[in-house]
Structure formats: structure tokens, C-alpha cells
Amino acid sequence: MDFNSILLYSLPIFCLFFTIWKIIDQKRHQHCYILDYQCYKPTDDRMLSTRFCGEVIRRNKNLGLNEYKFLLKAIVSSGIGEQTYAPRMVFYGREECPTYDDGISEMEEFFHDSIDKILKRTKILPSEIDVLVVNISMLATMPSLSARIINHYNMREDIKVYNLTGMGCSASPISINIVQNIFKIQKNKLALVVTSESLSPNWYSGNDRSMILSNCLFRSGGCAILLTNKLSLKNKTMFKLKCLVRTHHGAKDESYNCCIQKEDDQGRIGFHLDKTLPKAATRAFVDNLKEIAPKILPIRELLRFAIISTLRKFNQKYKGKFGPRPVINFKTGVDHFCLHTGGKAVIDGIGANLNLSEYDLEPARMTLHRFGNTSASSLWYVLGYMEAKKRLKKGDNVFMISFGAGFKCNSCLWEVVRDLGDGNVWEDCIDNYPPKTLANPFLEKFGWIQNEDPSTFYVPDDYVIP
């Protein structure tokens, strides 16, 4: 056989192997890894104690006795402790008339602290970052917040930038999804995700119960996450993204309107939380689980659940017996549950639906107690708690679940790449958690209000808080 014949026969084989190699190489570069993350802890002069919460409530002259009682009950039952953080304008007594600079300075204080720390720790230069994703739902600036970051850190001119607004508490997985899709088509990239919420321009000073509730739940915070698909950095990474699912029920009016920013009857802008919120959240949660469960759970668990469900339907049809409602066991494919700290009721509800233990719920409960609901960044504080407690071991799977306006439920599964144990934002207080009790002393300090007469009640200007 001559050389031309050999070449003729070998060329198709060579092309086949080259194509296979290209596919394999492309798959290797498509993975999305977390190189590092840094949660933000504001300075102690922004700490919102129980005592100061009472002062802030007293300053709102639009509240009557019933609204005061409602707020007290909400704070006591929220699961939030006395060391959370609020924006500076609250401490200056300007929550009713915040300035544009209040929102800007609140965000820049977070940006400079968290981004500086993550770049210093990873030894990554700002000029090396290829993608920047910023999600701050309720603050729009000109230039954008992402442009402010680029200007401050002198980033490259060809950096790919995504500035997200209005995504709510579930914005983090949306940002990760954007980076994931970029990594699928571009090799050797570094991406910085910056997630937070600006509370300064969004403090509600009216008396609508559905809107004053947000003042009790949301707190200042944020997180910077550095992601990559560089194989050269694989051994330095912390987590590998295995699966991400987004569910959006915005087409349903009830879901769309259950969590929305609007004006009250007096024209004051606030964040309305409707009574239909639990129902909308449950629907989105169930639909999300239906889609992600087959992707993250072993076949044996899916078969077990399918068989039990079929038997239950059979008994219902032919014997009139319902039997216990079958529950799929997510623990067969998940080692740790990273839950959005939307409130005590949210954590309890997810725990009941997934049949989780107190050990599973502890990271979310402790995060809510220490940092409150920091909106889209709350998931990373929960993850930081797990890491600080040295729960995360190589090969473990971490399931993140978040909810947000729209109404949305987003979830993702991370694989722990190496044993982790850094304190992150919990470093100076992790030994104090979990505390002996999560009871809030608010009612004890302000019990005087329970004996007031609604018809004669007024807030005494000279009242001294005990």
C-alpha cells in the first residue's frame, strides 16, 4: 500500500479522533468553578441592636398602636438577632429622606471592602478579570454600579459587563447562570460576581402593614464571588457547579403581585409583601424541585419515589385509601442545604417540605440571627457558616435554594472540590454559634406598649428607652 493510500484511509480516522478530542477538551473548559468568595461585614457603628430598633420605630410618627404591636410581633418572630446591620442614614435619622449619595456610599463601602479582600487573597489582578456581573436590585445609577467598579479598579476595556436590577433575593443564581453560559463558549476566563441590595433609598416610612414588614426583615450585606473555568486554577478552586435550575412564575398574576415595589395610599414607596406570598413561593418551589430532582438525585431514590407514588394513587382509586403523602429524600444526593434566609417561616417551610433536620437548618437559622435577610447575598453567608464550622469536605454536595420577586425560585448544586474550613465573615463569632437561645428580647424591653389604649395612644417624645 503506497503513501497516498495510507493517507487516504488514515485521514478520516484522524478527523474522527480530532473531533472527539475537541469535544472532550471543550467539555473540560465548560465547567464553572468558584475560586473564592468574600462576604461583607459592615462596621460595628452600623449594628442594629434591639434598643436602636425601638428608637427607629418610635421615630415613625405615621404608626399607631396597632402598627407598633404588629412590628413588635414581627421582629420577635422573625428569628433575627441584635447584631445585624443597617444603612448609615438610619443612624443619622434620615430614613424618611435619604439622599442619592446614601445609596451610592452604601454600595461603594461594600464594593471596596469585599472586592479588595477577595483579590488580595487570590492574588488576582483586576486587569485579569474577563467578566463582571453586578446585581443590586433596587438601586439604578448613572453611570451604572458596574461602571463604578470598573473605574475604581481600572479594569480592562474589553471586559464583559452585566448589570442586573429588579431580580430580588434570588439574583445570585441568575448571576451564576450568566457566568456559566459564558464559560460554555469561552475558555480560560475569570468572572467576578458582586451581589447585594441597597437599603438606603428603599426604607419605608409609612404605616401599611404589608410594606413596613420589609423594614423588619432586610439588613445590609453583600458578597463578591470569583469564578473561573481555567484548568490551571482547578486545584485552587473551592466549588464546582454541577447543576442550576431557574423557575419563573411571572406569567401568573398572583405570583407576580405577591412581592412587588409600589406606592401606598399616601404616595410613599415601599416593598409590598402580599398574603398570597407563601402560596406563590410553594408553587415555585415545587416546580423547581420537580425539574432539578432528576438531575441531582440517584436513580434508586427516583424509582422508590415513583413506586410509592403509584401505589398511593392505586389505593386512592380502588380502595379509597390515601395513605401518607410520599416525600422524596433529597439527602440521598445532597449533603448540605444552603437555604435563603427569607425569614423564620421560610426556613421552617423548606425544612418541613424537604424533611430536613435541625442540623440541616442550623446554617440558615444562624445566618438569619446574625446577619438577617441580606437579600441576594444571604446564600453566601449561609455557605460561609458551613465552611467556618468545617462541615464542607471534599466530594460533598451543597444544594442552594433561593426565592425572589417575580415570583422566582432558583436552585443549584455545588460539589466541594477540597476540604474547606476558612472563617470568612464568621471568623470572629463562629464559636458563639449556635447560641443557647434565639429568643428576641424586644417585647421584654418594650412591654409597656401592650397596656396602651388605642384611642389615647401617642408616642411620647420624651420617652426614655430602658
Hey, which residues are catalytic here?
169, 248, 336, 340, 369, 373
Give the burial class of 87: count Cβ atoms within 10 A of its Cβ; 0-12 exposed, 13-18 middle, 19 or more buried: buried
153, 116 Cβ separation under 8 angstroms: no
Minimal CA–CA distance to 400: which of 167, 217, 173? 173
Name beta bridge partners: 171: none
- Among residues 392, 413, 410, the alpha carbon closest in space to that of 401 is found at 410
402-434 b/e with 16+ CB inside 10 Å = b?
Answer: bbbbbbbbbbbbbbbbeebeebbbbeeebeebe
Alpha helices (H) in 319-405, listed in sequence order? 344-354, 358-371, 378-388
| Under 8 Å between Cβ of 376 and 195 | yes
CA neighbours closer than 13 Å in the CB half-sphere of residue 306: 10
Write out the DSSP string of 124-171. Answer: --GGG--EEEEEETT---SS-HHHHHHHHHT--TT-EEEEE-S-GGGH
Question: How does strand 239-248 pair with strand 33-39?
Answer: antiparallel
Q: Which one-letter amino acid corresponds to residue 184?
A: K
| Three-state SS at 295 | helix
Spatial neighbors of 231 by CB under 8 A, at least 6 apart, are 28, 29, 188
Tell me the three cell numbers of residue 382: 449561609
End-to-end CA distance of the chain: 101
SS (H, E, C) 77-116: HCCCCCCEECCHHHHCCCCCCCCHHHHHHHHHHHHHHHHH
CB neighbourhood size of 48 (10 A) = 22
Residues 217, 202: Cα–Cα separation, whole Å: 13
Close Cβ partners of 29 (under 8 Å, ≥ 6 residues apart): 183, 187, 188, 229, 231
261 and 63 Cβ atoms separated by less than 8 Å: no
Give backbone dihedrals phi and psi of 409, rounded to 5 degrees, phi first: -135, 120
Alpha-carbon distance 28 to 3, whole Å? 36
